[in-house]
Chains A and B, each alone.
Chain A
Amino acid sequence: MTLRLPAFEKALRRRVRAEVRKSRVLRRQARRARRRWWLNPAWLAFGYGAFLIGALVTKIAPAGHEFAARMAVVCLWFLGTLATNSAALAATLGDGARNWCLQLLPLRDAEVFRIQWRQHVRSSSWWLLFYAPFAVSLVAPRITDWRLLLAGVGFLLLQALCARAIVVHLAAWGLTGRVGAFGFCFPLAIGLGFLAASRYGAGLGDLYAALNWVPVFGWLNQIFLHAVVGGSALAWLWLIPVLLLFGALPVSWRRLRDGYVLAEPVFRPTAQQGDEADGSGEPVVVEDESDVPVDSKVGEASVRSREFLRGEAWWTAGWYERMAGRLLSARQRLLAEFLLMAAPNWSAGHRRGLRRWGLVMLFVAGFGAHGAWVLMPALLFTLDLVVPFAGGNWPGLQFARAGDFETTPWALQPVGHREIEVTLRKLNLLRFLTGLPLLAGLALVAGWRCPQFTPAQAMLGLVRLSGIVLACLPLFGLLQLSSATDDSLQVRWRRLPGLLVFILMVIGFGIGAFLASTWVVVLACLAVLAVISWWLAWSQARAWSRGRFDMVKRG
């Protein structure tokens, strides 16, 4: 079943146009309501960024390692595609606003699935277009034969399709996940860091080996190049797994379709900040109605007790909450509760993180001797516990529908940017400080087990990393607040290049602070990093107070 009648829509559109053309007033109204096609600046920034990253990789890689460096980025790019597609599919098929609309129509689940599937394919196909500049900038340099260029770009696009195919296979087996946070920026930024490390003599070979282990298709890159560049006929066998991947697609797709059940609109309270999220994604049942007293007298007594005006029990909740309670002022504690929309429960989240970190340590201790590649997933995991990469998960800063627009609870209450930013900065600092022992433990185990590092070197790296995180603290708050506004879409065109320069400077000085050989340079890089991040946060606060952007969702 299709929800569209193209012929009817076309005929109607033609009639409407004719009617509008007849009337001067209607023409004026149509002009007022006309929406010009516009390119989302965030997409444009992504296109620019992708191109720059591709170009940068070929520039900064040390002589003789250009190929390996490019391949490393391709692997990360593949991971990003996989993560983003997986998140997009989960969002489309999951419990979303679009599904609620479809529930009102007399459709079977299978029909809803087909509609949603088509929607997913249409919307996610746009991304292929934005990968083109990345592919061209990565493949084009030093390739003189246009056929090779075409082959390279084609291969990259084929990888994107493969990523999508893998997502379907994973989803068919219930592995559609909330991995969107590990989308593009994160792995690419890390990739850049590692690539820069290669310039200063750190083991690019190890990195490349690592990247060939992590994604499924890392090894395929090499075989492909053996086939195309090396001319080895045997290497063309790489097509077999690709064909298998696509050949099995109908089976997985059918399994996905048959198992699809249109989710009911269940109340889903947003999870607490980052480490608190249980990650299950399951709807949380709020409270059994039978447990709630339905009595006016009870309700009145509850109000008269003034209990509802008291804050949460920070001092008895847990060690983490007690520390946070001491760090925050009374108003900031209130703001933290407002952002959480619940009682703080960070201690439990920290304990869960600790257990997972223990497993990671065992992994590093067990396989560390096999190469530094082991460190990469371990570092990613530990950093995710310590630094709010994904922007946190504050319900008070999350968009929700309020009639015909979407806004955040923050927008509707008299809560200032400055006070909320300071609260977030303090909480981010606490999160980092309480997670520092985890990073130190990782550094020690890595220094002990990995032959590439000594414990002293690993600890030194930790000190530099800590400096970078502390210098960037305002940036983390900025990103968290930015997610509650449409500021990124309201950046003026002429300011976009300037903003990109600042972002690249943050990445560049961050890498500099991590790799510089003298402490003076390290400190200088950290100082510049701190100034930039403070300035960006200050600019955002200023633009917020002047109403330069809206606190509603644009899409």
Chain B
Amino acid sequence: MRLVCTPVAANPETKVRIELRTVSKSYGRTRALDRVSCEIEPGQLVAVLGANGAGKSTLLRCLSTVIGADKGTILCDGQPLRRDRLDLRRRMLFLPDFPLVYGGYSVIRHLGMLFRVYEAETTGVEDRAVAVLRDLDLLPLANRPVATLSRGQAYKAALAGLLTLDPEVWLLDEPFASGMDPHGIQAFRDHATEAVRRGRTILYTTQILDVVERFADRVMVLHEGELRAWDTMAQLREQGRGETDPLEHIFRQLRSESV
């Protein structure tokens, strides 16, 4: 499936390097993230894997500053990522699995508010918006309030904001379990692939291993808050020599540790 129209990037030049240094986060006594350290180079498509409760969503929330890490530092281009660093935060966008889109807003109005908050109302933004809306089959629904859309359509509306805004870092929680139709999912994958080529960094969580095998440069495996694997797909295949499905092999190993 091909994109009907490939949008022009908002800021084709800029790239962000993310570094996590012993990031920990606890909820009461539950340690959701346990000294996670890694470096994410620009232009990487990172799949975050892990069993339920492994800390995947917590990691994305920490990166988006929705929650604060108890210990450790997150660096963005070498600068500590803090909530008051709006310049850094404007370079990323976090999409939860149920995105917060105000139901009274139309799809277009949602885009407008997003652009204005991100201060990204540049020339040509409307062309990009039209292209993305067309790719996501949202043009006929562009004036509809989000509250009247189905779950998949509402997710597409939020995703349209992300794709049109095109920040340097995309953080997506379970985009493949968002209720989008196959066409929407394919459009997202096409846009993401193209964005990564331009140097965008994309982190997404998923439980669908088949998707990860074909749609990730690097894989981050979390287990009980600890970073257990941080490798490219090729490295993982090498490690799981003889295994037809290296990711499944890793999960089987982790599970055998658990039970």
Contacts and interface: CB of A to CB of B under 8 A. Distances in A.
A286 B145 contact: yes
Interface string B62-80: 0011111100000000000
Interface string A358-402: 000000000000000000000000000000000000010000111
Contacts of B133: 299-300, 303
Contacts of B225: 32
Residue among B114, B126, B142 with the highest chain A CB neighbour number at 10 A: B142
A551 B67 contact: yes
A25 B259 contact: yes
Contacts of A337: 113
Contacts of A305: 126
A411 B66 contact: yes
Interface string B114-138: 1111100100011101100110001
Contacts of B89: 414
Given A32-B31, A309-B116, A311-B116, A267 B103 contact: yes
B97 interface: yes
A88 B31 CA distance: 33
Interface stretch (B8-16, B104-112, B231-239): B104-112
A29 B258 contact: yes
Contacts of B134: 296, 300
A292 B144 contact: yes
A299 B29 contact: no
Contacts of A142: none
A412 B84 contact: no
Given A416-B86, A547-B83, A334 B116 contact: yes
Contacts of B168: none
A551 B136 CA distance: 30
B147 interface: yes
B24 interface: no
A286 B104 contact: yes
Contacts of A547: 65, 67-69, 82-83
A4 interface: no
Given A36-B28, A286-B147, A341 B68 contact: no
A36 B26 CA distance: 13
A286 B129 contact: no
A413 interface: yes
B29 A34 contact: yes
Contact of A550 (B68, B102, B142): B68
A269 B100 contact: no
Interface residues of A, number: 66
A498 interface: no
Contact of B140 (A35, A286, A299, A304): A299
Contacts of B115: 309
A414 B28 contact: no
Contacts of B240: none
B139 interface: yes
Contacts of A26: 258-259
Nearest to A543: B68
Contacts of B152: none
A546 B82 contact: yes
A415 B117 CA distance: 7
Contacts, number: 176
A187 to B, nearest CB: 34
Contacts of B28: 35-36, 38
A205 B125 CA distance: 68
B112 A309 contact: yes
A414 B118 contact: yes
A298 interface: yes
Given A32-B31, A309-B112, A545-B82, A302 B142 contact: yes
B103 A304 contact: no
Q: Of B97, B115, B139, which is in contact with the most chain A CB atoms at under 10 Å from its CB?
A: B139
A409 interface: yes
**Which residue, B28, B143, B257, has most C-beta atoms of chain A within 10 A?**
B143
A179 B59 CA distance: 39
A427 B209 CA distance: 50
A33 B258 CA distance: 13
Contacts of A295: 140
Nearest to A545: B84
Interface in A293-338: 293-296, 298-300, 302-311, 334, 337-338
Contacts of B117: 334, 338, 413-415
B66 A407 contact: yes
Contacts of A293: 143
Contacts of A292: 143-145, 148
Given A551-B66, A551-B67, A303 B102 contact: no
Nearest to B256: A25
Nearest to A299: B142
A23 B259 contact: yes
Contact of B139 (A29, A296, A414): A296
B140 A296 contact: yes
A529 B257 CA distance: 58
B129 to A, nearest CB: 5
Nearest to B144: A292
Contact of B83 (A34, A287, A405, A544): A544
A48 B193 CA distance: 57
Interface string B158-178: 000000000000000110000
Nearest to B164: A303
Nearest to A541: B84
A35 B29 contact: yes
A34 B105 CA distance: 41
B65 A29 contact: no
A547 B117 CA distance: 21
A54 B195 CA distance: 63
Contacts of A114: none
B104 A342 contact: yes
16 contacts: A286-B148, A287-B148, A289-B144, A294-B144, A299-B138, A300-B134, A302-B143, A304-B130, A308-B109, A309-B112, A402-B99, A403-B57, A408-B100, A414-B90, A545-B82, A547-B67
Interface of A: 23, 25-26, 29, 32-36, 38, 267, 269, 286-287, 289, 292-296, 298-300, 302-311, 334, 337-338, 341-342, 395, 400-405, 407-409, 411-418, 541, 544-552
Q: Which 4 A-B pairs have the closest CB atoms?
A: A547-B68, A299-B142, A308-B112, A545-B84
Given A296-B139, A299-B141, A402-B100, 6 more contacts: A35-B29, A292-B143, A401-B98, A403-B57, A403-B173, A413-B118
